[in-house]
Amino acid sequence: MPLEPNEQSIRNPFDFLTLDDGSVLRIQSHLYRIDRHFLEEYKRTVACLGTKDCYFCKHGFKKGTDFYYFGMVDEEEGVIRIPAGLFYFLNNWENENEATKQTTKRGHEWLIKKTGEGQGTRYTAEKLEAVKITEVQLNENNQTLVERMIGEEKGLKTRYNEVESIDSMGGAIK
């Protein structure tokens, strides 16, 4: 093995790719959506089991949704966590272009624009050159995404059980 002069660039293969201002995004799968709760008190993200059955929904914990695609960020390929604001931005763009039916968010590379910080962070995107993906490739990517996300959901479910038992016993210091 050669010496690695740039060790900070080595990424854990289980980490998700994330987007920053100036990133170039290429979406190459369908969407994988996860409902979850971020529990400030416990510093944990846990699964949401749906309004009817979910302990955390029933107890009024704020619910959020994460959006994932398989694709590329700059030159790196993997599973990307898409900020909710950016997901809706791209969806709106797609709806507005629906009349022509000529393109989808998968039909272009996107230059990501990020402004603000923390709660005030906003994402938009600028359309770059057109790209194509075959049906076969799309299906393969969907499968890779699902396999990766099944593992993620398992982890969220485990943490759901852990935190539910702590909280239902009276909880941590709040």
Q: Which residues bind Zn ion (CB under 5 A)?
A: 48, 54, 56-57
Least separation in angstroms between CB 32 and Zn ion: 18
Eight-class DSSP state of 65 = E
> Whose Cβ is closer to Zn ion: residue 35's or residue 77's?
35
Least separation in angstroms between CB 164 and Zn ion: 11
Least separation in angstroms between CB 44 and Zn ion: 13
Strand partners, 32: 68
Least separation in angstroms between CB 129 and Zn ion: 40
Eight-class DSSP state of 145 = H
> Whose Cβ is closer to Zn ion: residue 56's or residue 67's?
56
> Whose Cβ is closer to Zn ion: residue 53's or residue 117's?
53
SS3 of residue 143 by DSSP: helix
> Whose Cβ is closer to Zn ion: residue 56's or residue 70's?
56
Which residues of the chain form beta strands (DSSP E)? Answer: 24-27, 32-39, 44-47, 63-73, 76-82, 108-115, 122-130
In contact, 59 and 3? CB cutoff 8 Å: no
